[in-house]
């Protein structure tokens, strides 16, 4: 009997259909962030570096992508080791300007035509993000909330242009683009006036979102944050700010980033509450270690809990799952593969749970069974179902993928001196 047959029977004994779980998993598209491949530098200027915005990569592992073509090659390599087709999440700073600087308030769909071609060739969708950091007009910690109206106008224009580019992505690719707004605005020390910047931020966003964009092609999200480097004491776009803002703009999704809350606060605990008040949610699945450190996503308890909340509550069609981390201390292609496969594994783990039976025990007040059974199920042979899923998807089932990444490192990445 094959390993998969053994697993199939084991799961069948608790009423779980492994074939059905695999089929469901095949349909879940994740949004893979382009920025893991080059430490969030982008291609705006030659040799540009991540600066400002309160985010930080650490490490200097060799071989990061320096051009859009290099990044695309790395992405293709990563996708070849990740089961099924997904979406690629781009930032505005990944434009292709043909060597001539194009500022954020001047970007157009044509600067992303190369990415659209790439997406078509590879059968993937695209998501998008305006870039409100690493710019001379973001360095004093204010973009859409700036007291300088010229700076606000500059960034409002950026936001509107990004939404139009996103609409173009959606139209070209026949699948909706999700555009995520994260603004780094905030302060190192506690400001006296915390209200005015928030009023300005809301007004700026109102202007951006008042422009009509076809909802079949684009849906916007707003991402909150608790603190960042240099914005330790105050962030304009806090969780309360965006919960409130999205309450007034029901067409928007709120983005929950795993690293943007207090250290013991977990996003898995928020999903079911937020599902009540918005049609869709966006997740930035990341892994904070002690702070918002954006470590590579791994198959840990919180990842499993996130997937369980989505699957148990029937929210697969309403929760958009994007990854968001950037580790410059290990092979960057491997970082993508580890995170994406971990997320899929967590979803599979959730899909292999006999949820209805557990709910029934709970409803009957049998909390003994609930605890005993969930503990027993933790050691069920998930791995054999995972291997079957990988085999059916035509990608390496186990650690063999790493040899392929090492080969790529030797043949390609190591030559990028």
Q: Which CB sits closer to ligand RNT, 283 or 395?
A: 283
- The Cα–Cα gap between 106 and 32 comes to 26
Q: Which of 74, 223, 353, 387 is catalytic?
A: 223
Residues in 313-352 that interact with ligand RNT by CB under 6 A: 324
Helices (H), 235-381: 239-248, 271-275, 301-312, 332-351, 355-363, 367-377
Active site residue 225: yes
Q: Choose the catalytic residue: 70, 127, 185, 257.
A: 257
Q: Under the criterion CB under 6 A, does residue 225 sit at the interface with ligand RNT?
A: yes
88 is an interface residue for ligand RNT by CB under 6 A: no
Catalytic residue of the set 182, 336, 386, 401 = 182
CA atoms within 13 A on the CB side of 290: 0
Long-range contacts of 23-27 (CB under 8 A, 24+ apart): 24/316, 24/351, 25/84, 25/344, 25/347, 25/348, 25/351, 25/389, 26/83, 26/84, 26/389, 26/392, 26/393
Q: How far apart are CA 403 and CA 332, in angstroms?
A: 14
Interactions with ligand RNT, residue window 186-215 (CB under 6 A): none
* CB closer to Zn ion out of 18 and 224: 224
Active site residue 38: no
The item of Zn ion, ligand RNT, none sharing an interface with residue 8, based on CB under 5 to 8 Å by kind, is: none
74 is catalytic: no
b/e for 254-268, b at 16 or more Cβ within 10 A? bbbbbbbbeeeebbb
Rounded distance, CA 104 to CA 99, Å? 15
Q: How far is the CB of 91 from Zn ion (least distance, A)?
A: 11
Query: How many residues bind to ligand RNT according to rule CB under 6 A?
Result: 11
Nearer to ligand RNT, 84 or 221 (CB): 221
**What ranges in 80-209 are assigned the alpha helix state H?**
113-122, 149-173, 195-209
Site for Zn ion, rule CB under 5 A:
257, 284, 324
**Is residue 257 annotated as part of the catalytic site, yes or no?**
yes
Closer of 141 and 396 to ligand RNT (Cβ): 141
Judged by CB under 6 A, the chain residues 28 through 57 that form the site for ligand RNT are: 35, 40, 55
* Active-site residue (options: 70, 324, 327, 409): 324
CB of 54 to ligand RNT, least distance (A): 7
324 is catalytic: yes
Catalytic (active-site) positions: 182, 223, 225, 257, 260, 284, 292, 294, 324
């Amino acid at each position: 009997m094959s390993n998969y047959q053994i697993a199939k029977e084991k799961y069948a004994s608790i009423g779980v259909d492994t074939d059905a779980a695999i089929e469901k998993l095949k349909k879940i598209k994740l949004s893979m962030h382009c920025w893991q491949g080059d430490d969030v530098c982008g291609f705006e200027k030659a040799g540009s570096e991540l600066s400002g915005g309160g985010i930080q990569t650490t490490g200097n592992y060799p071989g990061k992508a320096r051009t859009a073509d290099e990044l695309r090659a790395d992405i293709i390599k990563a996708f070849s080791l990740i089961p099924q087709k997904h979406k690629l999440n781009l930032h505005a700073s990944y434009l292709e300007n043909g060597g001539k600087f194009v500022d954020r308030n001047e970007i157009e769909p044509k600067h992303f035509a190369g990415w659209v071609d790439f997406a078509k060739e590879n059968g993937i969708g695209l998501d998008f993000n305006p870039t409100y950091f690493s710019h001379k007009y973001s360095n004093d910690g204010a973009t859409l909330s700036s007291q300088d109206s010229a700076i606000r106008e500059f960034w409002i224009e950026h936001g509107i242009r990004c939404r139009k580019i996103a609409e173009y992505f959606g139209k070209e690719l026949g699948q909706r683009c999700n555009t995520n707004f994260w603004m780094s605005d905030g302060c190192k020390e506690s400001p006296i006036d915390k209200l005015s910047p928030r009023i300005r931020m809301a007004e700026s966003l109102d202007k951006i979102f008042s422009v009509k964009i076809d909802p079949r092609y684009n849906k916007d999200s707003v991402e909150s944050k608790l603190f960042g480097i240099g914005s330790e004491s105050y962030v304009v776009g806090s969780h309360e700010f965006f919960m409130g803002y999205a309450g007034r703009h029901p067409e928007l999704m709120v983005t929950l980033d795993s690293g943007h809350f207090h250290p013991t606060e977990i996003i898995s605990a928020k999903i079911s509450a937020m599902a009540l008040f918005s049609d869709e949610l966006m997740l930035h699945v990341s892994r904070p270690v002690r702070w918002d450190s954006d470590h590579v996503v791994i198959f840990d308890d919180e990842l499993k809990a996130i997937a369980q909340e989505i699957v148990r509550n029937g929210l697969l069609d309403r929760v958009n799952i994007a990854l968001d981390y950037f580790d410059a201390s290990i092979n960057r292609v491997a970082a993508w593969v580890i995170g994406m496969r971990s997320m899929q594994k967590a979803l599979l783990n959730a899909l292999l749970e006999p949820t209805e039976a557990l709910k029934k025990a709970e409803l009957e007040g049998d909390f003994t069974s609930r605890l005993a059974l969930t503990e027993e199920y933790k050691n069920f042979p998930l791995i054999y179902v995972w291997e079957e899923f990988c085999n059916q998807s035509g990608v390496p089932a186990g650690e063999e993928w790493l040899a392929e990444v090492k080969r790529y490192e030797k043949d390609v990445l190591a030559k990028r001196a």
